Amino acid sequence: MARRDDSDPLELAAGRERLLQAVATLPLRYAPFYSRLSGLWQLSEAEIETVLTESARTPWRRLWLGIRYYTLQPGTELGNARARLLHFEPGVRFPEHRHTGEEQVLVLSGSYTDSHGHRVGPGDLQSMGEGSEHALRISSDAPCVAAIVQRGLSFSGPLLRRVRRLISL
C-alpha cells in the first residue's frame, strides 16, 4: 500500500533550515570530529563539547593579523603540551617555522597548503616531527579552523623570534 505524504513542503523546508542552523554553530558544528578531538587533546567527548561551547562564549586572542586562537587545558597525558583552536582568515600566510617538538593539527573547517605542497582540509590530521620546518598558506575561499597540540616552535627570522617571545607560542 502506498504511503500518503501529508507533509507541507514549506514546513519541511523550515525544519531543514532550523536543523542546519543548529549544527552550524558551536558546539555541534564540529560534532563529527568529537572522537578525533578527544584523541588529540586526551579529553572525553563530553569535555570536548564543553570546550567548544566555552570557545563560542569567550573572545579568542589575536595572534596577529588574520589569526586568532583559543587555548584550552588538554588531558594530563599530554604533559606540558599546548592545546589550542586556531582560526585563520582566508588567504593568511603563517610564516616559515621550525618545530622544536612534535605538533599535530586536525583541520575542522577550511584548508591550508604547506610549503611542501601538502593540502590539509577538513578531517585531515597533519603531524610534524621535531625539527621539521614549513610555512602555511590558508585557502583564499574560506577561513580555516584547526585544533592543535603543540610542543614548541621557533620562527626563522629575527623579527619573528622576538614576536614569538611576546606571544608565547
C-alpha cell at 26: 558551536
- Rounded to 5°, the CA angle 29-33-36 comes to 155
Is residue 137 in a domain? yes
- Global model pTM greater than 0.85: no
Say how far apart CA 97 and CA 156 lie, in whole Å: 6
Residue in the structure block whose three cell numbers are 586562537: 69
**What type of residue sits at position 134?**
H
- Rounded to 5°, the CA angle 26-45-21 comes to 25
109, 151 contact by CB (below 8 A)? no
Number of H helices, E strands in the chain: 4, 11
Is residue 1 in a domain? no
Is residue 151 in a domain? yes
Is residue 4 in a domain? no
Domain at 161, CATH number: 2.60.120.10
Is residue 20 in a domain? yes
Is residue 121 in a domain? yes
Which range marks the domain in which residue 87 is found?
A: 12-167
Is residue 6 in a domain? no
Is residue 3 in a domain? no
Q: Which helix (H) or strand (E) holds 83?
A: strand 82-88
Number of domains observed in the structure of the chain: 1
**What type of residue sits at position 15?**
G
- Spell out the per-residue pLDDT of the chain, length 169, in tens: 555 556 677 665 655 555 445 445 667 889 999 999 999 999 999 999 999 999 999 999 998 889 999 999 999 999 999 999 999 999 999 888 888 889 999 999 999 999 999 999 999 999 998 888 888 999 999 999 999 999 877 776 655 555 555 555 5
Backbone angles phi, psi at 59, to 5 degrees: -65, 135
